């Protein structure tokens, strides 16, 4: 709440983007945030100090003023990405000109606000909130959100069920319940959400499930929420390295490699459930905090957080006693299997799949984490402009980039017909000066790796405080690179 108080703009009654939050793309305090302002309003109502009610009402009014009421458009019922965003036009681009998910992020928070303090709010404002909820629900295209899109589907389901009950709209309750049932059925196939092992979006999954568990009239959602919340904690705890204080890879979606260097929503749930010492988080008082706007989810987590199951609590807090192998089937179509090998001071993460996803952006199918001698965490992730499939097992990490269709040698002409892209391994947060890279060995501060590959090491380049280590494949073939710690090689 102190973080939100510092970002509050008394002229606009919304929160500025905090320093470093969207750096380097957006200057500090240059735009006003929307879902984060809603979370702050909830916190004001829960804190209920002098002036908090009046400020909360002003924030809610400002939020309702940036909701779009444009029937017939695909952005009807959602909210401006930021308060300064121009209203979308006929050629508006999703995620750039508008964010459809603000319907669910703001809508669920408005429900929590009503649940927390409806009797204290001005009745006229309550009526306006009800209208905003109706707009958000009615503006949602019927087929945009399905069970695969887990974090949004969880919020959409509870928004429709609870708003349907509030408005005495049985059809809306049934629609939300049907979506919830589809999410549960998909999760139950393998005990996994498709947005698997995400330090940020697991935090939103836990938000949705906690609302199912505590904030609905539906017996089905309460039962499902309790069961899936427990299962999610138990599964993610297997991938959490308590010594390195990180959810290790692979990541279906991630905004960083070290949870102590950016704000991951999961860290707030760890804080709420297990205490501040269990939560990897950057210092909120630092000059700039990467993804710092997600600190503002705190009041929501504080209201909803429940107990962590005993098995998960032990994995999340107790030191590793020895290596741990983890394997989880995520889905059959596409085929996806997550694996991880956690050792005392390092960990490998990998996803084996037959999807066409590139190893880029938020998707990190091959990862390394280790403890630096000076403290803190070093990391490696793979980038490639082609699908990369990986497996972590028996103390090694194997990365494979197969030749694309048509790659290899042409029929009878001996010519290479399609190139396999360069594979880049991004080494983060290690001391660049002390790192050394040879074709068969990486010497990193705190970690020596044996490298087995027919691919050629072609470049090692500095990129800020990171290193880009690039490999080209052998002629007519793809990449196959195996990493294994030197100590593990000699031991085995």
Range list for CATH 1.50.10 in the chain = 2-312
The CB-side HSE value for 5 (13 A sphere, CA atoms) comes to: 9
Residue 56 has pLDDT above 60, yes or no: yes
Tokens of 458: 């072609």
pLDDT at 429: 73
Name which of 16, 19, 20, 18 is nearest 31 in CA terms. 16
User: CA-to-CA distance for 480 and 285, rounded, in angstroms?
Assistant: 44
**430 falls in which pLDDT band (50, 70, 90)?**
low
Contact 336, 330 (CB under 8 A): yes
User: Can you tell me the mean pLDDT for 132-156?
Assistant: 97
Q: What is the pLDDT of residue 487?
A: 76
Q: How many beta carbons lie within 10 A of that of residue 175, not counting itself? A: 18
> Does the pLDDT of residue 431 top 80, yes or no?
no
Q: Which of 191-195, 308-312, 462-466 has the lowest mean pLDDT?
A: 462-466
Residue 417's pLDDT band, with cuts at 50, 70 and 90, is very low
What is the predicted pLDDT for the residue at 405? 61
As assigned by CATH, the class of the 2-312 domain is: mainly alpha
Q: Which long-range contacts (CB under 8 A, 24 or more apart) does 315-319 make?
A: 315/237, 315/238, 315/240, 315/242, 316/237, 316/240, 316/242, 316/270, 316/274, 316/278, 317/242, 317/274, 317/278, 318/242, 319/242, 319/243
- For residue 214, pLDDT beyond 60: yes
- Return the pLDDT at 383: 96
Average the pLDDT over 79-96 and give the result.
95
| Structure confidence by residue, pLDDT tens digits, 125-142 | 999 999 999 999 999 999
| pLDDT tens-digit map of 218-236 | 999 999 999 999 999 999 9
Candidate from 61-70, 211-220, 267-276 with smallest mean pLDDT: 211-220
Q: pLDDT band at 444, cuts 50/70/90?
A: very high
Cis peptide before 385 (omega within 30 of 0): no
**Residue for token pair 């050394």:** 436
pLDDT tens track for 240-298: 999 999 999 999 999 999 999 999 999 999 999 999 999 999 998 888 899 999 999 99
What are phi and psi for residue 416, nearest 5 degrees? Answer: -80, 120
- Render pLDDT for 465-492 as a digit per residue (tens, 0 to 9): 889 999 999 998 999 999 999 975 443 3
Closest by Cα among 441, 447, 278, 318 to 379: 447
Range scoring the smallest mean pLDDT among 361-370, 412-421, 422-431: 412-421
- For residue 408, what is the DSSP state? S
Read off the pLDDT band of 432 (50, 70, 90). Answer: low
Report the mean per-residue pLDDT for the chain.
93
Residue 434 has a pLDDT of: 75
Cβ atoms of residues 447 and 372 within 8 Å: no
Contact 385, 358 (CB under 8 A): yes
Does residue 200 surpass a pLDDT of 50? yes
CA distances (Å), 46 to each of 56, 113, 133, 154, 300, in order? 10, 9, 21, 24, 10
DSSP state letter for 357: -
Stretch (H or E) spanning 366: strand 366-371
Examine the pLDDT at 410 and tell me if it is beyond 90: no
pLDDT of amino acid 414: 36
Q: What is the share, in percent, of the chain residues with pLDDT greater than 90?
A: 87
């Amino acid at each position: 709440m102190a973080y939100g108080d510092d970002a509050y703009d008394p002229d606009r009654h919304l929160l500025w983007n905090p320093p470093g939050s969207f750096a380097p793309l957006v200057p500090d305090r240059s735009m006003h945030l929307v879902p984060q302002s809603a979370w702050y309003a909830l916190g004001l109502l829960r804190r209920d100090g002098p002036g908090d009610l009046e400020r909360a009402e002003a924030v809610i009014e400002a939020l309702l003023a940036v909701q779009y009421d444009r029937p017939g458009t695909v952005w009807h019922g959602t909210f401006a990405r930021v308060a300064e965003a121009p209203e979308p036009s006929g050629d508006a681009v999703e995620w750039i000109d508008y964010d459809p998910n603000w319907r669910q992020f703001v809508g669920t928070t408005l429900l929590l606000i009503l649940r927390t303090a409806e009797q204290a709010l001005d009745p006229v404002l309550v009526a306006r909130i009800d209208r905003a909820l109706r707009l958000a629900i009615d503006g949602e295209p019927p087929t945009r959100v399905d069970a695969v899109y887990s974090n949004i589907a969880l919020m959409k389901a509870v928004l429709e069920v609870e708003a349907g009950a509030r408005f005495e709209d049985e059809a809306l309750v049934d629609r939300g319940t049907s979506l919830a049932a589809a999410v549960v059925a998909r999760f139950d196939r393998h005990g996994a959400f498709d947005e698997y092992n995400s330090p940020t979006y697991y935090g939103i999954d836990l938000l949705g499930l906690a609302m199912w568990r505590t904030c609905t009239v539906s017996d089905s959602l309460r039962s499902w929420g309790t069961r899936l919340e427990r299962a999610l904690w138990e599964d993610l705890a297997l991938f959490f390295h308590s010594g390195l204080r990180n959810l290790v890879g692979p990541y279906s979606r991630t905004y960083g490699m070290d949870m102590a260097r950016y704000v991951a929503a999961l860290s707030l749930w760890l804080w709420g459930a297990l205490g501040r010492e269990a939560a990897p988080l950057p210092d909120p008082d630092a000059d700039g905090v990467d993804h710092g706007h997600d600190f503002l989810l705190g009041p929501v987590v504080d209201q909803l957080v429940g107990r962590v199951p005993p098995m998960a609590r032990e994995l999340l807090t107790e030191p590793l006693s020895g290596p741990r192998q983890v394997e989880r089937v995520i889905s059959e179509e596409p085929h996806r299997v997550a694996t991880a090998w956690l050792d005392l001071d390092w960990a490998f993460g990998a996803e084996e799949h037959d999807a066409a996803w590139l190893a880029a952006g938020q998707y990190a199918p091959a990862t390394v984490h280790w403890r630096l001698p000076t403290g803190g965490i070093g990391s490696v992730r793979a980038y490639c402009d082609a699908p990369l499939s990986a497996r972590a097992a028996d103390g090694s990490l194997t990365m494979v980039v197969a030749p694309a269709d048509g790659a290899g040698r042409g029929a009878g002409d001996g010519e290479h017909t399609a190139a396999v892209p360069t594979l880049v391994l991004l080494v983060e947060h290690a001391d660049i000066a002390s790192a050394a890279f040879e074709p068969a060995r990486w010497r990193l501060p705190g970690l020596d790796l044996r490298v087995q590959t027919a691919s050629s090491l072609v470049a090692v380049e500095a990129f800020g405080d990171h290193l880009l280590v690039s490999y080209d494949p052998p002629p007519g073939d793809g990449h196959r690179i195996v990493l294994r710690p030197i100590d593990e090689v000699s031991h085995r």
